[in-house]
Amino acid sequence: MKKSILGQCIAVALVMPTVGLFAAEHPTTSGHEHPTAPSQTQVKAPATSTPATVQGEILDMVCYMDHGEKGAKHKACAEKCIKGGAPVGLLTADGAVYLLLEDHNAPAPYQTLKGMAAEQVTVQGTIVNRGGVQGLVVKSMNKAKA
C-alpha cells in the first residue's frame, strides 16, 4: 500500500517542529548549556563564613567517613590515603568534623597539615558552610601543645 504524498507531507510537518526543539535544547557542540538546566546562581547556595581557631586531630576523610578510622593506630593508613589524594579533615574533641580546604593565596599551611595525619593541631582560618558541608579554609596552623 502506497502512502499518499499528502500523508507524507503531513507526517513530516508534524515531526519537524519536534526535531527543531530537540536540536535547540541538545546541541552537539562542546561547551554548550542546556536551557532547562539550572544556572550556576540557582545551584549555588550562599556560603556562610566565620573566622575561627579550631583544635583537633588531622584525619583522612575517606577512612573516617567510610568506617570511622582515626587516631594513632590508623596513622600509617591515613598518611598513605592523604598522600594518594584523600581529602583532609579535622576532628575536634567534641566530635565536630571540618573538611580542611587550601587557601589558594597561601597554600603552605594546608600542605603542611597533609603530612600530619593523626596528630593534634590548631588551625586558624575561616569556617565555611555550603550545602550542608562544613569546611575550614586553612590560613595558618601549629602543632597543638600537649
pLDDT in tens, 1-59: 444 554 444 444 444 444 444 344 444 444 445 445 445 545 555 677 899 999 999 99
80 and 28 assigned to the same domain:
no
Domain assignment of residue 99, given as a range: 48-143
Mean of all residue pLDDT scores within the chain: 80
Per-residue pLDDT for 87 more than 80?
Answer: yes
The whole-angstrom separation of Cα 109 and Cα 92 is 18
Task: Average the pLDDT over 49-78 and give the result.
Answer: 96
Q: How many CA atoms lie less than 13 Å away from 135 in the CB half-sphere? A: 18
How many domains does the chain fold into?
A: 2
Residue 52, beta-bridge partner list: 125
∠ CA 76-145-72, nearest 5°, is: 20
Please tell me which residue, 20 or 75, carries the higher pLDDT value: 75
Cell reading at 120: 593534634
> Is residue 75 within 8 Å of 118, Cβ to Cβ?
yes
Mark whether 9 and 67 lie in a shared domain. no
Output DSSP code: residue 36: T
Mean pLDDT of 70-77: 97
Give me the pLDDT at residue 145, please.
81
Question: What cell was used for 77?
Answer: 593508613
- Taking the C-alpha atoms of residue 135 and residue 62, their distance in angstroms, rounded to an integer, is 15
Q: What number of CA atoms fall less than 13 Å from residue 113's CA on the CB side?
A: 33
Q: How far apart are CA 60 and CA 85, in angstroms?
A: 9
- Does residue 27 sit in the same domain as residue 88? no
Instruction: Assess whether 134 and 64 both reside in one domain.
Output: yes
Using 50, 70 and 90 to split pLDDT, how confident is the model at 85? very high
pLDDT at 27: 42
> Is there a single domain that holds both residue 114 and residue 59?
yes
CATH number, residue 108: 2.40.50.140
What pLDDT, on the 0 to 100 scale, is given for residue 11?
A: 44
Q: What is the pLDDT of residues 119-140, one digit of tens each?
A: 999 999 999 999 999 999 999 9
Same domain membership, residue 28 and residue 95: no
pLDDT above 80 (res 144): yes
Residues 94 and 133 reside in one and the same domain: yes
pLDDT at 49: 86
Q: Within this chain, do residues 29 and 100 fall inside the same structural domain, yes or no?
A: no
Residue 70 and residue 31 share a domain: no
